[in-house]
């Protein structure tokens, strides 16, 4: 009798343990380097909510904002090492990990956002996402950072020659640095969380970012001139540690991919919203906004673009430009 009772108790305990293990809640971290109230914030918040909803709360993703887990490069390194599961980043530091992604940062490569989205959502973008796997990442989806423009505190930039000698913060990206040197800019690579203070203290004269980032970071408080150069389209990307992704069930893997895609929809919609209202808002806050003749800036980079054609292959660049 005692043996039967003991066996039943052990069986019940095992069943409870199995049940707890089956429904055990797991928690993951995701980060961005800018504020929550931004196109990147809505991207990671949407993804986190979708994962929690679609797994009935089994998997929770905790978002971290404003570089609280480090700048973009540090967060990507953490994801690669597995000390954090997820991040959403611009492609600025990505070529340091996946060199094939450098081609996307060529200035004036894309006609507009619609062209860039068509490239990233099509075969070229999917081919590039696959390149991340051998580097320790699962690239879940391309998102968007936006079309980059230049701000500074020194002078109005109406033409390329006005950029000469300006000390500008740039991303830690070899393609950007080569291009900006072509304009005569004194490039100062710097992690994003340091930028506001550097502008405030005059360590650098200016910086370049999409309107969404300029607004979310309140750069109008420390920058006077905004030139709508639209010199680079800056993609975003959802990255996950590959080992963490591989541990998921097939169903959960699809949930993460689908949740990231929902995050991208919200992210792109917010970029569109910021682009539509950004210039008026920044003017109202005191920035002097200049519409430039973009053709002059394209022409000024002629020699640099010739080097990019050698580096990346003209056929590869033409393939991107040919996408409708």
Asked, for residue 15, whether it belongs to a domain, the answer is no
Residue 1 lies in a domain: no
Q: Give 29-50 pLDDT, tens digit per residue.
A: 999 999 999 999 999 999 999 9
Return the pLDDT at 20. 38
Segment 241-277, tens digit of pLDDT: 999 999 999 999 999 999 999 999 999 999 999 999 9
Residues 6+ apart with CB under 8 A from 309: 317
Residue 304 inside a domain? The answer is: yes
Quick one: CA dihedral 199, 203, 206, 212, positive or negative? negative
Considering its fold, how many domains does the chain have in total?
A: 1
Dihedral (CA of 244, 250, 252, 256) sign: positive
Residue-range definition of the domain harbouring residue 230: 25-321
The predicted structure's pLDDT at residue 236: 98
Q: Could you tell me if residue 18 is inside a domain? A: no
In order of 77, 124, 241, 288, the CA distances from 86 in angstroms are 11, 23, 6, 38
Asked if the structure places residue 11 within a domain, the reply is no
Which residue in the block uniquely carries the two structure tokens 């699809």?
Answer: 254
Position 301 in a domain: yes
Mean pLDDT over residues 58-62, rounded? 98
Task: Decide: 297 and 231 in contact? Cβ < 8 Å.
Answer: yes
pLDDT 10s digits, 127-177? 999 999 999 999 999 999 999 999 999 999 999 999 999 999 999 899 999
Q: Domain containing 192 — which CATH number?
A: 3.40.190.170
177 falls within a domain: yes
Asked whether the whole model's pTM tops 0.85, one would answer yes
For 149, counting Cβ atoms within 10 Å of its Cβ (0-12 exposed, 13-18 middle, 19+ buried), the class is: buried
Half-sphere exposure of residue 159: CA atoms within 13 angstroms, side-chain side: 3
Distance CA 160, CA 149 (A): 13
Strands 137-152 and 288-291: unpaired
Mean pLDDT for the chain overall: 93
In a domain, 9, yes or no: no
Q: CA-based diameter of the chain, in Å? A: 94
């Amino acid at each position: 009798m005692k043996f039967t009772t003991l066996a039943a108790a052990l069986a019940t305990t095992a069943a409870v343990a199995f049940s707890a293990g089956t429904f055990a809640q797991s928690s993951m971290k995701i980060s961005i380097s800018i504020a929550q109230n931004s196109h990147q914030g809505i991207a990671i918040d949407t993804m986190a909510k979708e994962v929690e909803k679609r797994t009935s709360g089994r998997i929770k993703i905790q978002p971290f904002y404003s570089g609280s887990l480090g700048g973009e490069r540090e967060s990507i390194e953490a994801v690669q090492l597995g000390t954090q599961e997820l991040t959403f980043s611009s492609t600025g530091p990505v070529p340091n990990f996946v060199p094939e992604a450098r081609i996307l940062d060529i200035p004036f490569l894309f006609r507009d956002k619609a062209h860039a989205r068509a490239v990233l959502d099509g075969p070229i973008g999917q081919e590039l996402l696959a390149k991340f796997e051998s580097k320790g990442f699962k690239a879940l989806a391309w998102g968007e950072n936006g079309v980059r423009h230049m701000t500074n505190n020194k002078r109005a930039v109406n033409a390329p020659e006005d950029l000469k000698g300006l000390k500008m913060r740039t991303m830690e990206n070899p393609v950007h640095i080569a291009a900006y040197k072509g304009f005569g800019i004194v490039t100062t690579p710097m992690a994003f969380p340091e930028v506001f203070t550097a502008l405030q203290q005059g360590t650098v004269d200016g910086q370049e970012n999409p309107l969404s980032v300029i607004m979310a970071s309140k750069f109008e408080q420390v920058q006077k001139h905004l030139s709508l150069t639209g010199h680079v389209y800056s993609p975003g990307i959802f990255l996950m540690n590959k080992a963490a992704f591989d541990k998921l069930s097939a169903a959960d893997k699809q949930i993460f991919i689908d949740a990231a895609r929902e995050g991208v929809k919200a992210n792109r919609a917010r970029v569109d919203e910021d682009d539509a209202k950004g210039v008026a808002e920044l003017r109202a806050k005191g920035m002097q906004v200049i519409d430039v003749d973009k053709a002059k800036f394209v022409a000024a980079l002629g020699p640099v673009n010739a080097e990019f054609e050698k580096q990346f292959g003209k056929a590869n660049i033409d393939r991107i430009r040919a996408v409708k």
